[in-house]
Amino acid sequence: MGERAWIRGAQRGSVSDLEALFREHWPRAYRAAFLVVHDAAAAEDIAQEAFLAAVRALDRFDRRRPFGPWLHRIAVNRAIDWARASKLRAELQQHDVPAPEQADPDERMLPALASLDPDQRAVIVLRYLLEYTPGEIAELLDLPRGTVNSRLRRGLDRLKERLE
């Protein structure tokens, strides 16, 4: 049973179809939000709000359009807003935390990501976690494609520096 059928079922009131959509998409929306904001509670709120927006708009959702990009657009844009606001409030102090020496590669990735600007984190997450093309990212974030490419390039360069 595919995504369109789940959406159709959910539109008709099927809880199991809504749950199937949730199982399919919530983990990635949550992970994407977390990797942008670096705060589990905020990521939970963001992913939840994105799904609530989906529930509110369910009856009007065009089944011909894929559900994932629509949800990810809400989640990642809100995550960027949150991260920017958090940065302004100086609550996110992880930028200058050095990666621990001899750390497991998995443990080094998170602080390395934290060293990026929220906008760079978002394009990295969209490109490499959610596997959108630069053109699709440009559309999701309402950015020129060149800006997406330069953010990706700068973000990757910075990650490489931090991970080496």
Question: Applying CB under 8 A, which residues contact other proteins?
Answer: 10, 13, 15, 18-19, 22, 26-27, 30-31, 34-35, 40, 43-44, 47-49, 51-53, 55-62, 73-74, 77-78, 81, 105-106, 109-110, 124-125, 128-129, 131
Least distance between other proteins and beta carbon 109 (Å): 5
Rounded Cα distance between 52 and 50, Å, is 5
157: how many CB neighbours lie within 10 A of its CB? 11
Burial 72-85 (b: 16+ CB within 10 A, else e): bbbbbbbbbebbee
Contacts (Cβ under 8 Å, ≥6 apart) of 66: 3
Least distance between other proteins and beta carbon 95 (Å): 17
- CB-nearer residue toward other proteins: 64 or 102: 64
- CB-nearer residue toward other proteins: 85 or 150: 85
